Amino acid sequence: MAVQQLDLEVTGMTCAACQSYVQKTLREQPGVLDASVNLMTNSARVVIDPDKARTEAILEAVEEGGYGASVVDTDVSVLERQALMRAARRQEQATLARKAAVTLTIGFAGVAMMMAPAAMHHTRMNWLWLIITTLVLPWAGERFYRAAYAAARHGTSNMNTLVALGTGAAYLWSAFATAFPHALHRHGINADVYFEAVIFILGFMLLGKYLESRAKGRTGEALEKLACLQPKTARVRRGDDVVDVPIETIQLGDTLVIRPGERMPVDGEVISGFSAVDESMLTGEPLPVDKRPGDLVIGGTVNRSGSLDVRATALGRHTVLARILKLTYDAQAAAAPIQDLADRVSARFVPAILAIAALTFVVWFATGGLSQLPRAISAAVAVLIIACPCAMGLAVPTALMVATGRAAQFGILIRGGPSLQKLEEANTLVFDKTGTLTHGKPSVVEVHAQIEERELLCYAAAAEARSEHPLAVAIVEYVRSKSIPVAEATEFESFAGSGIRARVSSHVVHAGNYRFLTEHGIEVNDLPDGAGGRSFVYIAVDQRHVGTFVLSDTVKPDAPLAIAKARALSLKPVLLTGDNRSTAQAIAKEVGITEVIAEVLPQGKLEAISGLQAEHETVVMVGDGVNDAPALARADVGVAMGTGTDIAMEASDVTVLRGELALVPEVVRLARRTMHLIRQNLWWAFGYNIIAVPLAAGVFYPFTGWQLNPAIASAAMAFSSIAVLLNSLRLARWTPS
């Protein structure tokens, strides 16, 4: 069965109940296999069977519930989407701030007037409050009343229902008490009014929404910072001129001129110049990387020193920066399994609160009769206002947004909630050897010289410079790293699989394996230890053996640190490789791994992973993302080490762009911290309501003589959501150690 993914933008959601309703509605539609809705990003991800599902019907179902829905335009890059979201959020914040400021100012001014020595008679004050509240109520509470009405039309309820019922009941009672006080007095009922409570409830709700929006913006700061890396214009060479053009007009193959201090506008290949490029914002690597002709540069990175001419090789959503943003954005839309708990509670929460508010009113009225009617109304309104499920809806996605965004700033791409939750449960780290624990290419580790070493290096590099064999390339790189110039050789001749012969100055140089030299009548008088998978290149000058290069696929410098960190987190490291056992054990001993699974084919790697999982172990497989793809897929979490320019970025659960092994245990540490904060958020969201609702209902009144005022209840409700957001923002300080 063919499966298609549909990404939707959903507007009008304000709390966990909204999120739960939209998600339930989507999952009930024909042809929908699964749906996940994210309150933080106002998005939904729907998996459908395209033969059975109709996109129009899915959108109509959401809209019938009082929400807006549209299909995300795949031609719009995440960079552009972030800019639109940022502009919309700023506009929303400006509106919320203005309404909150006006409403609260009116509230405090009215209270000050009532407390003034020369205050007017309370009857006239009540009429003044009635006029003010009647004017303020539809203006300040428009967003809540519209949403509550839309939900009621379709037989559902949400946070806006609680606010609308609470403020509406308080307003109508106060208006009746103001207009007909004597009717209440004849029945022994105090004509108490709650106009100031209505004003303060709306003011605090708006202030809470404003602060919540600000905090939500901070949870996406990491993504915002990445999106802002791309410059708006670029300098392009047009014939003999260099002109500034908008980045949208750059075409593939254009030559870009990048001056010192400027950011790369798009991905490209250096065609002239030399410079050091700061890639830290994308990879987390603090040291600039030298770039010369033929090297690739990534859009958004900073040119530090020299001037570069760069040919554009990738544009728009095909650049590495855009792909990183897309993966990070997608990760924030992927809910963790723990979100299901919050969703189940939220779906039943608002109806339960409505029932509790009704019960509160009935109990207070029944215990005191008509004389307790004002208190019964006050208690019911306080219950409606204080029990907002916003904190439940924010508990999981806020932490995920901050964690995945912060990780992206250090070049760690995490696919989202399910991956983070599995990482937290991990107890076994399985490492591939070649390209993961080791560099994946030979390097010179020893030089045995029987003549002056510099002279040996000169002969070897000159002879090997024209060879493309990996061992020859490694020798030439080693010599160049010593700042020794490489001379030009003549009469070069290659012998496949064994060695080369060349003339350097007036001398004949042979370079190759032991058999190659002996076949050419040269006696090799130095045979280094061949243990540990090492390779040897013997050098002879004029038929005399003058030295030997020992080469090996060397261990990455941070590999021992990565293993030590893993053990500190109680993770069991395992080496899994197709290489021979002696080489594998030598590498394992060097980095500190005791459990080795060697000499296995790709199918054997799958069986090894399955075997570990059968022992009730949660396995994280770390590989290079290409030849380890099956094992990465079989593991509970696959971690790809690489530059992020290949399929590894798309196939793995986690991608470490800079290929630094010591970051792998740090990802597990981040996952554990994130899940810890998510549980804290959920405990706070649930615990707050368990305590706050009885307090508002007056359960403790017989013992304390104190009951929660509706205005204070609204402030407490706003604080509950902000507390969850601020707790999640603690993850923004996370840094790999």
Residues marked as catalytic: 432
Closest CA to 721 of 357, 378, 207: 207
User: Are residues 398 and 38 in contact, defined by beta-carbon separation less than 8 angstroms?
Assistant: no
DSSP class of residue 662 equals T
Locate 214 and state its tokens.
């600000």
Helix (H) or strand (E) run with residue 153 in it:
helix 142-153
Amino acid at 150: A
Four-residue CA torsion sign, 553, 557, 558, 559? positive
Cα 712 to chain center, whole Å? 36
Strand order in the sheet with 32-38: 32-38, 43-48, 4-11, 68-71
Neighbours of 493 (CB within 10 A): 10
Q: How many CB atoms lie within 10 A of CB 679?
A: 14
Calpha distance 24→67 (Å, rounded): 13
Is the distance from CB of 365 to CB of 373 less than 8 angstroms? yes
Provide long-range contacts, Cβ within 8 A and 24+ apart, for 588-592. 590/555, 590/559, 590/560, 591/437, 591/555, 591/559, 591/560, 591/562, 591/563, 592/560, 592/563, 592/564, 592/567
Q: Mind giving me the DSSP string for 321-372?
A: HHHHHHHHHHHHHS--TTHHHHHHHHHHHHHHHHHHHHHHHHHHHHHHGGGG
Question: What token pair was written down for 544?
Answer: 């005399």
Residue at token pair 């990491």: 222
Distances (CA, A) of 263 to 307, 320, 649: 12, 14, 23
For tokens 């909150």, what's the residue? 100
Q: Match 């004003």 to its residue by tokens.
A: 199
Q: Which of 517, 494, 504 is nearest to 463 (CA)?
A: 504
Say if CB 686 and CB 392 are below 8 A apart: yes
